[in-house]
Amino acid sequence: MRIKRIYTFMLQTFLPLFLMTFFICLFIVLMQFLWRYVGDLVGKGLGIDILAQLFFYASLTFVPMALPLGILLASLMTFGNLGESLELLAMKSSGISLLKIMKPLTAFMVVLAVATFFFQDRVLPLANTKMYSILIGIKHTSPELEIPEGIFYKEINNYNIYVDHKDYDTGMLHGVTIYIFDGSNIEDATVTVADSAKISMAETGKHLKLTLWSGQQVGTFRQGTGNSYQQQQKHPKYRRESFSMKEVYIPYDNGFDTDEESISDRHVGKNLAQLSHSVDSLNQRIDSINYGYGKKLVRSIYYTNVRESVRDDSAYFAEKTEKPQKMVIDLDSIYASLTPEQMEKLTDKATSRAKNVIQTFAIQREMQAFEQKNVNYHAIEMHRKFTLSVACLLFFFIGAPLGAIIRKGGIGIPIITGVLFFIFYYIIDNTGYKAAKNGSMQPWFGTWLSSMVLAPIGLWLTWRAVNDSPLFDWDTYKIRFAQIMRKVMRRSRPILEFAKKHREQRSTHSAFFGRRTRKRNNRSNPFS
């Protein structure tokens, strides 16, 4: 089967522009990534191979952002150039419709959308795993570089670290002072002073190992002579320790996982089958947790406590009936029969139990919200395997008709129009993603929100371009607006005539009755 000449012409025109715009967009996004992590990369002594691997995997992870924008710009420039050089007009005058002109590029976009889906499902999880693992390794290479000189470093909770001087060649810290705050009382701080120190990352990846040399540690602990907690808090005790070498472990959470296996267990490192299985498993886990919470809540509050109170307070009843479940208990009378000491004790006990129940289920609610958020992450990532492919098709059916309507080539108007459309798409997509992540929207709705907004725009632009309808001809809009106004005035003319006639009748009536009123007033006034 021989391919038509017009098909090869369209592909030869579109593909170079598509490759150019795609790699330019990818380079811009990659520079944004470099600007974001430049503080973690500079001064670490990293080799060219490590940086090359990082940029390679980062470029793969940014394909979903650069690909739709590249398609939009390429389609705008292609059809804009054809319209400006009158080649598009020559094709249409030969009896070739716009849809037939777009046919080879549409087939190419379908193939690209299928390839994009497999890229999202197979390549992107691996790229995410590799990129984050390299970032973690870089971040753990020299943790001492994050601590500035001559300024208190307060990024670690309950720790303030001060360093006089740092030796970047050996990684040694000189003149180290560490304040450790345990609680809200400033008197409970522990101060450690050392001549030199060295920081390294612990094997667990969650702690910084700080090795100190030639220093002292001063702290407080509270212990009183009385038995009550209040008496013990009033008598702080001080302790002082001198050391030649001491190791201190500081909690340090950098927000990342520690190895490739833990990253691959997250939503960014799973393919479609793994995500679907994870969503089902997490939903079953949430259902079982909710069922257990419900049983515990009913058993501990509404049933168990009442039955136990009936058994414990049996001395207040003269005799028991054969069916205690049908017994009518007057709690007010039972409470009124107690002594003031018993009332106070019972009230304190009930208040303490209520607070414990509230705290317990508040923690369980937070755990449940965390589990649901994890489900939302997996569901969003599962739907995003398809949204990129659909976005490629939508941006093509927006860019190609819009370029045929604008008929302006080059890189001026197409780039401005394409960037505006992409910003509009990115805002909607980011809004839907955040709403789905927080649970304000269903994951499928928040993920597909941008596609649902762009689909009518693409259909409308394609319809206008196929019918050769002017889109930016303002004279056409003025004529259309004048026609609409004439129709409105024609339909409202009877109403206006009726209102005018009614207004004239009212003015005639007012004038007649006004003259009669003035004559009557003149006759009644003797001084007129």
Quote the DSSP letter at residue 153.
Answer: B
Domain-terminating residue out of 251, 284, 302: 251
Q: Which amino acid makes up residue 253? A: D
Kindly indicate the confidence band of residue 472, based on its pLDDT and cuts at 50, 70 and 90.
low
Alpha-carbon span 195 to 163, nearest angstrom: 10
88 and 11 fall within a common domain = yes
Residue 524 lies in a domain: no
414 and 507 fall within a common domain = no
Q: Mean pLDDT over residues 218-223, rounded? A: 64
For Cα atoms 460, 464, 468, give the angle at the middle one, nearest 5 degrees.
170
User: Tell me, what's the pLDDT at 509?
Assistant: 58
23 and 96 fall within a common domain = yes
**Domains identified in the chain, total number:** 4
Q: Mean pLDDT over residues 383-401, rounded? A: 89
Kindly indicate the confidence band of residue 299, based on its pLDDT and cuts at 50, 70 and 90.
low
Domain-terminating residue out of 186, 219, 251: 251
For residue 263 the two structure tokens come to: 């990253």
Q: Which amino acid makes up residue 318? A: A
Q: What is the mean pLDDT of the chain?
A: 76
pLDDT tens for residues 496-528?
A: 676 667 666 666 656 555 555 555 555 555 544
Three-state DSSP class for 248?
A: strand
Residue 149 lies in a domain: no
For Cα atoms 14, 15, 16, give the angle at the middle one, nearest 5 degrees.
100
Residue 259 lies in a domain: no
361 and 282 fall within a common domain = yes
Catalogue the E-assigned strands of 123-254. 159-167, 172-180, 190-201, 207-222, 236-251
Residue 302 lies in a domain: yes
11 and 85 fall within a common domain = yes
Taking a C-beta distance cutoff of 8 angstroms, is the pair 187, 236 a contact?
A: yes
Q: Mean pLDDT over residues 415-419, rounded? A: 79
336 and 392 fall within a common domain = no
Q: What is the DSSP string of 298-316?
A: IIIIIIHHHHHHHHHTGGG
Name residue, tokens 């693992």.
133
pLDDT tens for residues 437-468?
A: 888 888 889 889 988 998 998 888 888 888 87
16 and 94 fall within a common domain = yes
Please list, in sequence order, all residues whose beta carbon lies within 8 angstroms of the beta carbon of residue 498, skipping any fewer than 6 positions away.
none
Alpha-carbon span 179 to 218, nearest angstrom: 10
User: Tell me, what's the pLDDT at 302?
Assistant: 44
> Taking 90 as the threshold, does the pLDDT of residue 6 lie above it?
no
Alpha-carbon span 269 to 199, nearest angstrom: 31
Domain range for 111: 5-140+388-435+444-465
The tally of CA atoms less than 13 A away on the side-chain side of residue 460 is: 7
User: Tell me, what's the pLDDT at 121?
Assistant: 87
User: Tell me, what's the pLDDT at 297?
Assistant: 67
Alpha-carbon span 194 to 163, nearest angstrom: 10
Q: Which amino acid makes up residue 241? A: E
Task: Count Cβ atoms below 10 Å from residue 70 Cβ, excluding itself.
Answer: 25
281 and 164 fall within a common domain = no
Q: Taking the C-alpha atoms of 462, 467, 472 and 475 in order, what is their torsion angle to the nearest 10 degrees?
A: -160
Residue 525 lies in a domain: no
Q: Of 22-31, 126-135, 328-337, 412-421, which gets the smallest average pLDDT?
A: 328-337
> Taking 90 as the threshold, does the pLDDT of residue 114 lie above it?
yes
User: Tell me, what's the pLDDT at 112?
Assistant: 93
411 and 373 fall within a common domain = no
Task: Count Cβ atoms below 10 Å from residue 77 Cβ, excluding itself.
Answer: 26
Residue 261 lies in a domain: no
Three-state DSSP class for 499?
A: helix
216 and 111 fall within a common domain = no
> Taking 90 as the threshold, does the pLDDT of residue 251 lie above it?
no
Give whole-number Cα distances, 37 to 31, 58, 241, 252, in Å.
10, 12, 40, 19
Task: Count Cβ atoms below 10 Å from residue 365 Cβ, excluding itself.
Answer: 11
Domain-terminating residue out of 216, 251, 286: 251
Residue 399 lies in a domain: yes
Taking a C-beta distance cutoff of 8 angstroms, is the pair 440, 451 a contact?
A: no
354 and 407 fall within a common domain = no
For Cα atoms 394, 397, 402, give the angle at the middle one, nearest 5 degrees.
125
Name residue, tokens 């997250």.
266
183 and 110 fall within a common domain = no
Q: Over the Cα atoms of the chain, what is R_g?
A: 38
User: Tell me, what's the pLDDT at 27?
Assistant: 92
Give long-range contacts, CB 8 A cutoff, 24+ apart: 53-60.
53/130, 53/134, 54/131, 54/134, 54/135, 54/138, 55/30, 57/127, 57/128, 57/130, 57/131, 57/134, 58/30, 58/33, 58/131, 59/26, 59/30, 60/123, 60/124, 60/127, 60/131
Residue 256 lies in a domain: no
pLDDT tens for residues 34-56?
A: 888 776 676 666 678 888 888 89
User: Tell me, what's the pLDDT at 185?
Assistant: 52
Burial of 58 (0-12, 13-18, 19+ CB in 10 A): buried
> Taking 70 as the threshold, does the pLDDT of residue 252 lie above it?
no
> Taking 80 as the threshold, does the pLDDT of residue 57 lie above it?
yes
pLDDT tens for residues 352-373?
A: 877 877 777 777 777 777 788 8
